[in-house]
């Protein structure tokens, strides 16, 4: 069974996400800053040098949950994130980029020779809010299901990638948690969030 360790979760992402799933909160300049930061976080770890975790603006200093996904030539290379806003978004990008590169147990750690071929996608999460199953909107909401100490999370783009309807999305989020598919009907807590999704190919 799958249990998220505290507020960190590695997720499979099959292809480039649908980046129209939520309204744009971050400016093009902010997106560039965060994407550059993710690359720099990985490179600096390999080079064993420090980088500043001080955010350049109050907006990027706000505590937010976020996921960093890295690819090499379109193939998934790592994905790790924080569901809950444990630290500033700026610091979260540093931490999740490094974790995606070096701590995703599905992959060997990224090497220095791979850094020039890495592409990065970021998913910045809104605060979690309790939601009724009938109010879940496929393509807009990500879901977190929890029961008996087990938690499962799927990002908003996942049902779009797989062609799931709302019922299947609820069931697959329960599966992600290692719970029965109908746990959402039988007392499991259900929370939703939106995510702003952007990657290296989205900014110029």
Q: Measure the CA–CA gap between 13 and 111, rounded to whole angstroms.
A: 21
C-alpha 57/C-alpha 21 separation (Å) is 25
Residues of the chain with CATH 3.30.700.20: 8-125
Q: Where in the chain is the domain with CATH 3.30.1490.150?
A: 129-193
pLDDT tens per residue across span 139-181: 999 999 999 999 998 989 899 989 999 999 999 999 999 999 9
Q: Hey, which CATH number is domain 8-125, 3.90.1150.10, 3.40.50.300, 3.30.700.20, 3.20.20.70? A: 3.30.700.20
pLDDT tens figures, 29-46:
999 999 999 999 999 999
Contact 121, 16 (CB under 8 A): yes
26 in helix, strand or coil?
coil
Architecture of domain 129-193: 2-Layer Sandwich (3.30)
pTM given for the model = 0.75
Contact 176, 158 (CB under 8 A): no
């Amino acid at each position: 069974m799958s249990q998220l360790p505290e507020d960190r979760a590695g997720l499979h992402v099959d292809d480039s996400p649908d980046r129209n799933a939520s309204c744009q909160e971050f400016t093009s300049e902010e997106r560039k800053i965060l994407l550059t930061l993710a690359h720099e976080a990985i490179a600096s770890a390999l080079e064993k040098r420090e980088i500043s975790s001080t955010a350049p603006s109050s907006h990027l200093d706000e505590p937010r949950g976020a996921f960093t996904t890295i690819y090499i030539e379109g193939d998934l290379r790592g994905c790790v994130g924080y569901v809950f806003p444990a630290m500033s978004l700026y610091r979260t990008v540093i931490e999740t980029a490094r974790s995606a590169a070096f701590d995703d147990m599905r992959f060997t750690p990224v090497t220095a020779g791979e850094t020039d071929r890495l592409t990065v996608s970021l998913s910045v999460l809104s605060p979690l809010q309790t939601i009724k199953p009938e109010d879940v909107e496929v393509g807009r909401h990500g879901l977190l299901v929890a029961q008996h100490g087990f938690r499962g999370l799927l990002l908003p783009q996942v049902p779009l990638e797989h062609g799931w309807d709302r019922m299947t999305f609820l069931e697959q989020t329960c599966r992600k948690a290692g719970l029965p598919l109908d746990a959402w009907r039988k007392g499991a807590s259900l929370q939703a969030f939106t995510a702003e999704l952007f990657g290296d190919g989205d900014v110029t």
